[in-house]
Structure 1
C-alpha cells in the first residue's frame, strides 16, 4: 500500500491542505460572531448646529399675510438648504433624540418641515388651519410638527382667518327661557 501512495505522490505538482473545522458540511463558512453594538448601516450624522436665521434688511409687505396653500410643492421649488429649514431640522433632531421618536415620525416631520418652510420669510406665521387640511398634516402623531414650529416661534393656533377690526362683531340670536329671541353681539 505504501508503494501505491509513493507512485501517486510523484505525479502531484502542488499540495492541498485540508484543515479540520474550516467549513461546515454543507459548504458554507460560519458567520463571524457579532460582538455587540448596532447592526446595519451606520446612523446618519446629526444635522449641523443651527440657530435662528438673521433676518437682515427686509422689504415690508404691502398687504397682510395671505393664507398659504401647501397642496402641491414642485420638487424643483423646494429650498433644501434654506436657513429656516436648517434650523427647523436641528430643532426636530434634538427633540427626536430627547423624546425617542420613531424613525417614521422623524421622516414624516422632516418631510412636513420641508414643505412648510419652503418659501418661508421672516415675519410669516404658520397657522394650524393651513397645516391640518393637508394629508401629511393630519397623520403626524401628537403634534410633533407643531411642537417644532412652536419652538421656532412661527406657529399660531388660530384655525380660521384673523378677525377684522373694521367689521362689527357677529350677531347671535338666542332664545331665552320665556321663548323670546334676543340678539347679542360678540
Structure 2
C-alpha cells in the first residue's frame, strides 16, 4: 500500500492536474477479505462520455509514466464502479469538514422497496448517523451491477468516534428498516489518505 500511495501522490495526481482530469474527491485505504489491502478513490465526472474520452487520452500517458518510474507492477486488480449521488446527499468527503475517516454501508434493497429505503434514510437513517457523531453523510446509487444497489458514506472526525458508532450502527440500521426490505448489506471501514484531507 505505501507504493500505491506514492504512485498516487507523486505520479497520478500531478498527471491529472497536468492533463485536465479532475482531482480525486477522496482516496481511502481499506481491506477486502478476498484481496487484502484495497485503495478506493472517487473522481467526479459530468457524464460517462466525458469520463471515457478523458481516460482514452490519459491511459497511454499514465502507462508511459509508470514505465519511466520503473519497478515491478504491484497492482493485482482494478475494479470500476460508476455511481450517481442522491440529489440531496451529494458525495463530498474531502471538503475539510473535520473528517478523517469513513464508513461505507453497502445496501441492496429488494426491488419493489428501493424507494422505501431512500425514504427511510431521509426520515431517520441519516439522522442516526449524525446523532452518533458523523460529520457528513452522503448517499448514491450504483449505475451497473446487481441493481438496485445503494451506498451510504458517513464521514467521522476520527477512528475513535467511528469505532464507537460502529458498536451500535449495524443493529440500529437493522431495526430501522423492515427485514424484508433489504436483500443484503455489509459495512466497510475506510481510512482517508492524509494528502487529500483538506
TM, length-normalised to structure 2: 0.24
More helix, by proportion: 2
More strand, by proportion: 2
Greater relative CO, 1 or 2 (CA 8 Å, sep 6+):
2
TM, length-normalised to structure 1: 0.25
Higher Cα radius of gyration: 1
